[in-house]
Structures are given as structure tokens and as C-alpha cells.
Amino acid sequence: MNDYENMPDEQLVQLSLKDQDCFYYLMKRYEIKILRYIKRLTTVSHEEAEDIIQEVFIKVYRNLNGFNRKLKFSSWIYRIAHNEIVNQYRKTKLRLSMIPLSIDDEANLIDSIHDTIESNGAYENLENAEKVREALAKLPDKYREILVLRYLEDKSYDEISDILRKPTGTVATQINRAKASFKKIVRRHQLDKEIVK
């Protein structure tokens, strides 16, 4: 009997090409992750997010033969999800900015950013969720997405490079810029001072 749940993605891809039912296990493995990724990047409702994930999985299935084994399957599926979000954005002009991150997501993001940038006191008191949300909402879309991939989806630079189809160097630069931009927004709007008060 096949142990689909512990099978590597690449093997499941091969099996899915022969047997449609195997694709179910592949979808099940990524369902929550991709749904969460869509919600982190858009303002869509849960139902709309389900429509997007349906498109994503159908595209994944159609393109299974084109999966490049030099990539991680997870990077490939995130890339398709990213492209689908961009497509939806173009089609419906759905707003990618003002991401309604959950309180947990915000806390995680702030912790991660805080850990990786030199501490100069600006983030000491960024627990205030409203202010954090304000700072994040002011970030340009491309910076927000890269921060989400790096600190919430926990992707490496190489994986982000494969997802966004950008050179690793560019990814590193954008992450640094995103962090610097976040820092500037906090300072410009004196969010740190308000929070300290």
C-alpha cells in the first residue's frame, strides 16, 4: 500500500500524472499553506480565496509535465500561486496592499524583522498592533510580499528567487530595502514614540 502522506512531492507528481486521485494528496499537502499565502497577500474573502486556490491547483495539474525537477515543488507551486494572485489583481484590480495580516502574523513578522535588523530602539515597543498594521500597510506591495515570503512563509533566499523569478541578489537587496523601508515608515510616522508613550 502506498504511503502517500510521507511520499516526496516529486514522487507524488509522477504518480499524479498516472492517477488523478494521487493529485488529491499533493493538493491536501499545500491547501492550507497556499490558502494562507493568498490571504496574506490579498484582501479577498475566504470564498474568493478558495476560487483562487482552485485556479492555482488546476494550473498546477495542467502543467505537471512542465515541472522542472531542479526546483523544489513547493517553490513551483508558490510561483503558480503568486502568478495567479497577480493575474487576479490585473483582472479584478483586487487590492494587494493594506494586507489584513492576523495579529499572530504581525507579531511574527515584527519579531523576525526585529531579530534581523540592528536594534536601535526603534522597534523596542512595536507591540502595538494598530501601529504595526499602519506601518505594514504603508509598505509598497513588492516589499510586503517579500517580507511575507521570508518571515511568514519562512522561505530561503533561493526559494524566494525561484518563486518570484528574480536573481537571489535582487531578492536579498529587496529584503534589505523592505526592512529599511519599514524602519523609515516607523520613524517618519513616529510610531515608535507613540508606542513608547
Closer Cβ to other proteins, 24 or 89, answer by number? 24
| Shortest distance in whole angstroms from residue 17 CB to other proteins | 6
| Residue 24, C-alpha cell as written in the block | 488529491
C-alpha pair distances (Å), 78 with each of 118, 132, 185 = 30, 26, 29
Closer Cβ to other proteins, 50 or 124, answer by number? 50
Closer Cβ to other proteins, 27 or 178, answer by number? 27
The residue ranges that bind other proteins (CB under 8 A) are: 17, 20-21, 23-24, 27-28, 31, 35, 50, 53-54, 57-58, 61-66, 68, 70, 161, 165-170
Closer Cβ to other proteins, 37 or 123, answer by number? 37
| Shortest distance in whole angstroms from residue 88 CB to other proteins | 17
| Shortest distance in whole angstroms from residue 62 CB to other proteins | 6
Residue 160 and residue 138: Cα distance in Å, rounded?
22
Closer Cβ to other proteins, 133 or 142, answer by number? 142
| Shortest distance in whole angstroms from residue 141 CB to other proteins | 19
Give yes or no for a contact between 55 and 130, defined as CB atoms under 8 angstroms apart.
no
Give yes or no for a contact between 35 and 49, defined as CB atoms under 8 angstroms apart.
yes
Instruction: Tell me the residue length of the chain.
Output: 197
C-alpha pair distances (Å), 34 with each of 16, 30, 49, 164, 177 = 19, 6, 9, 15, 25
| Shortest distance in whole angstroms from residue 181 CB to other proteins | 22
Mark residue 70 as left, alpha or beta (left: phi above 0; alpha: psi -120 to 50; beta: remaining). alpha
